[in-house]
């Protein structure tokens, strides 16, 4: 069985918890996009973690965790995460780092600051866009280059020469030295160097041996570089369509496509968000839901569930099933609003507009459903959930036409109900 776990909103859907749970049965877990802009919250053996780069397979001794070619890797962060996890687990996670994954260099972060994209686009300032840009411009440094320091050195010298021409007034850029940069990267990589190899071949071999492979997405569908509300997006393909291309696998080999979404919406950074609420209501969702960025600590904007956006995300990913998370956060609301269409230029529309400028103008058209008073975070059997909860779930299923297979009512692994 091959499963892809995909975020269906603007990231932060609770994928970390779901992948951690499903990785238990996986032989291989492959992270297919993004870099340390992601923050997956996981509770493992009672300890809470925020991981940024290492896939969820790391928590299980017999599972290989692959950092694939679709990713961009910050070796300093990877090493810190590796050391921390090794200490927590008492063993060293089995990693495979794709030789063709790109490395985030210190100048990529510097470029983000110089260009002001943190301010304009609300990025995580982790050097993500400049690294993907260098990849497309063929001036990137790849993990495999570190195994051949002479090649890495040549590539770095070429890149620095270009940077020096582009930024003659930046002291930070002018002071960079290829030898120093390379030494630094090699020292961060240290014990991880033997894990660099041909990840695509390893994934194909896993398929051929009928192993249980899981693909783990980062960020969410609405942040996809092609299909999100550009330019308020991340720089990688966050959807199922991008997975095969960035890793080099034929898509029919992934049979289960599980879309993860939160029972309400959040967004962090800059960009349109039609169902955002304000004032006390937003504060209530943010406080109860703990809606602060794992990577940056920024408060997330909060709002009601947007089924227009969800239908679009499900269509793009061809989801075969869904996981709803953080349903417990909605306990205690008398009424819950769900957006089923938008009003745009005086007309009701049911399709998610691609252009950020149009999405900005969309007003949500809400349907209101009854809330439930009692907390549900201790419930472990979906048959014992209040009737209003199941009516809410049924409304979503009817609207989007895909079954909700997993219901999550808390951050702990036990607070998860699998439905037939
Ligand atoms: P970047 O990925 O750092 O370039 O940031 C681009 C946009 O994506 C910003 O609005 C970020 O806040 C958002 N973003 C990137 N990664 C995540 C994530 O893991 N969760 C939520 N938002 C994210």
pLDDT tens, 96-146?
A: 999 999 999 999 999 999 998 878 888 999 999 999 999 999 999 999 999
Q: Whose CA is nearest to atom 5 of ligand 1?
A: 123
Whole-angstrom Cα distance, residue 262 to residue 322? 10
Q: In the prediction, which pLDDT does 120 show?
A: 87
Is-catalytic flag, 12? yes
Residues 271-295, mean pLDDT to the nearest whole number: 94
Is it the case that residue 349 has pLDDT exceeding 80? yes
Contacts of 169 (CB under 8 A, 6+ apart): none
Smallest Cα–Cα separation from 389: which of 362, 412, 411, 407? 407
Let me know: does 224 contact 313? Beta carbons within 8 Å. Answer: no
Assign domain 2-99+196-258 to its CATH architecture.
Answer: 3-Layer(aba) Sandwich (3.40)
Q: In the prediction, which pLDDT does 295 show?
A: 78
Interval between CA 296 and ligand 1 midpoint (Å) = 10
Interval between CA 280 and ligand 1 midpoint (Å) = 25
User: Ligand 1, residues 11, 51, 109: which to mutate, most atoms within 8 A of Cβ?
Assistant: 11
What is the SS3 assignment for 133? helix
For the CA of 298, the closest atom of ligand 1 is 12
User: Which of 46-50, 255-259, 366-370 shows the lowest per-residue confidence on average (mean pLDDT)?
Assistant: 46-50
Whole-angstrom Cα distance, residue 85 to residue 87? 5
Interval between CA 37 and ligand 1 midpoint (Å) = 6
User: Ligand 1, residues 77, 108, 119, 124: which to mutate, most atoms within 8 A of Cβ?
Assistant: 124
Interval between CA 126 and ligand 1 midpoint (Å) = 10
Please identify which of the residues 20, 25, 40, 334 carries the catalytic annotation: 40
- Kindly report, as residue ranges, where domains of CATH 3.90.170.10 are found in the chain: 261-418
**Fold topology of 261-418:** Adenylosuccinate Synthetase; Chain A, domain 3 (3.90.170)
Q: In the prediction, which pLDDT does 98 show?
A: 98
Smallest Cα–Cα separation from 275: which of 350, 353, 336, 365? 365
- Kindly report, as residue ranges, where domains of CATH 3.40.440.10 are found in the chain: 2-99+196-258
Whether the bond into 231 is cis, omega within 30 of 0: yes
**Fold topology of 102-190:** Adenylosuccinate Synthetase, subunit A; domain 2 (1.10.300)
Is-catalytic flag, 52? no
Confidence of residue 178 (pLDDT cuts 50, 70, 90): very high
Interval between CA 327 and ligand 1 midpoint (Å) = 23
- Kindly report, as residue ranges, where domains of CATH 1.10.300.10 are found in the chain: 102-190
For the CA of 123, the closest atom of ligand 1 is 5
Per residue in 393-413, pLDDT (tens digit) is 999 999 999 999 999 999 999
Q: Whose CA is nearest to atom 2 of ligand 1?
A: 234
Is it the case that residue 420 has pLDDT exceeding 80? no
Does ligand 1 lie within 6 Å of residue 234's CB atom? yes
Confidence of residue 297 (pLDDT cuts 50, 70, 90): confident
């Amino acid at each position: 069985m091959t499963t892809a776990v995909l975020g269906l909103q603007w990231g932060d859907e609770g994928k970390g918890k779901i992948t951690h749970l499903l990785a238990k049965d996986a032989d291989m877990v492959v992270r297919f996009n993004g870099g340390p802009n992601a923050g997956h919250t996981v509770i493992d053996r009672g300890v809470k973690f925020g991981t940024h780069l290492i896939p969820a397979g790391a928590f299980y001794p017999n599972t290989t965790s692959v950092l694939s070619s679709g990713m961009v890797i910050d070796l300093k962060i990877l090493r810190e995460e590796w050391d921390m996890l090794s200490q927590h687990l008492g063993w060293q996670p089995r990693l495979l780092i794709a030789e063709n994954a790109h490395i985030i260099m210190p100048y990529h972060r510097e470029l983000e600051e110089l260009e002001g994209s943190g301010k304009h686009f609300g990025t995580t300032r982790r050097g993500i866009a400049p690294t993907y840009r260098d990849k497309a411009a063929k001036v990137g440094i790849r993990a495999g280059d570190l195994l051949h320091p002479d090649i890495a050195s040549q590539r770095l010298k070429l890149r620095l020469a270009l940077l020096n021409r582009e930024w003659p007034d930046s002291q930070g850029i002018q002071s960079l030295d290829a030898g120093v940069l390379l030494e630094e990267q090699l020292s961060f990589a240290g014990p991880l160097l033997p894990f660099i190899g041909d990840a695509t071949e390893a994934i194909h071999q896993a398929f051929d041996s009928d192993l249980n492979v899981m693909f783990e997405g980062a960020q969410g569908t609405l942040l996809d570089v092609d299909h999100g509300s550009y330019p308020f997006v991340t720089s990688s393909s966050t959807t199922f369509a991008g997975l095969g291309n960035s890793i080099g696998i034929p898509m029919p080999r992934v049979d289960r496509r599980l879309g993860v979404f939160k029972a309400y919406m959040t967004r962090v950074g800059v960009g349109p968000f039609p169902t955002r609420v304000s004032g006390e209501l937003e504060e209530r969702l943010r406080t109860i839901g703990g809606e602060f960025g794992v990577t940056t600590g920024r408060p997330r904007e909060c709002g009601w569930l947007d089924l227009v956006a969800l239908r679009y995300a499900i269509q793009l990913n061809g989801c075969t099933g869904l996981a709803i998370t953080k349903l417990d956060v909605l306990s205690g609301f008398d009424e819950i609003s769900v957006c089923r269409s938008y009003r745009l230029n005086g007309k009701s529309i049911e399709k998610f507009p691609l252009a950020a400028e149009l999405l900005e103008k969309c007003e949500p058209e809400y349907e209101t459903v009854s809330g439930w008073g009692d907390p549900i975070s201790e419930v472990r059997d979906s048959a014992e959930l209040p009737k209003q909860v199941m009516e809410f779930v049924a409304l979503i299923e009817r609207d989007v036409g895909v079954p909700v297979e997993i219901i999550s009512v808390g951050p702990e692994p036990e607070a998860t109900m699998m439905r037939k």
